[in-house]
Amino acid sequence: MRQAVWRRLDARFRPGDHILELSCGTGEDALYLAQRGICVLATDAAPGMLRVAQGKIKQARVEEKVTLHPMKIEEFAGGVFPFPEAVPTNGFDGALSNFGGLNCVTDHAAVAAGLAGCLRPGAFAILCIMGPLCPWEWGWFLRQGQPKKAFRRLRPGGVSWRGLTVSYPSIRAVRHAFAPHFRLRRAGAIGALLPPPYTEAWIAQHARLLNILSRWERRLEALPVLPALADHYLLEFERV
């Protein structure tokens, strides 16, 4: 699934670009971009995540390409970047939020305004978000007799997780929130045919099936219905 996201990063970002990453986690994506000659300002609210990311960046010897900074997404959601000295003169060339960082934010319109304030016109914001409809999840947990988990994404008000409220917005809702500043150029499925990561033990016993599903998902990922039925959907917004 991460490799599927990286394929789209390669399609939108170029060596020499300056990219803002929200909720960078342990730095896997920042490291990938840095090794391709892309400069990354990687931010996350969790100090522990940033320490792990710093270790990876140092071990890979790409410190000159990656700057790590503690920041909650909400800190710049009003449109003013909290540390403007880190913004390139003409604005960032792109932005990235991978694997659910924006699911922990309720006001996506404010996030859109924040990104609009620090991205140059024509820049792409690539956002990987957990959607509300995931047939794989329904089948997996219903088979285990856990209906609450099966349909947790449909719960009004979201789900409590480690002190956070996780919500599952639809593609339409996110598109509407970003519409004043961004144009949606592409929506792709990340985990529609592929099973979710928590099925790893089962996947390990079905490697051949996994390869088949992966090939077909990549071929069909942009079909209109598939992103809405995926574990995550990948939205590629262009700053207008």
What is the residue-level pLDDT of the chain in tens, covering all 240 positions?
A: 999 999 999 999 999 999 999 999 999 999 999 999 999 999 999 999 999 999 999 999 999 999 999 999 988 876 778 889 999 999 999 999 999 999 999 999 999 999 999 999 999 999 999 999 999 999 999 999 999 999 999 999 999 988 889 999 999 999 999 999 999 999 999 999 999 989 989 999 999 999 999 999 999 999 999 999 999 999 999 999
Structurally, what CATH architecture does the domain formed by 2-239 represent? 3-Layer(aba) Sandwich (3.40)
Q: What pLDDT does 77 receive?
A: 75
Q: What pLDDT does 136 receive?
A: 97
Whether the CB-CB separation of 217 and 192 falls below 8 Å is answered with yes
Tokens representing residue 100 in the block: 């659910």
DSSP 36-69: TT-EEEEEES-HHHHHHHHHHHHHHT-TTTEEEE
Specify the DSSP element, H or E, that contains 219.
helix 207-220
Per domain, the residue ranges of the chain are 2-239
Q: What pLDDT does 81 receive?
A: 87
37: left (phi over 0), alpha (psi -120 to 50) or beta: left
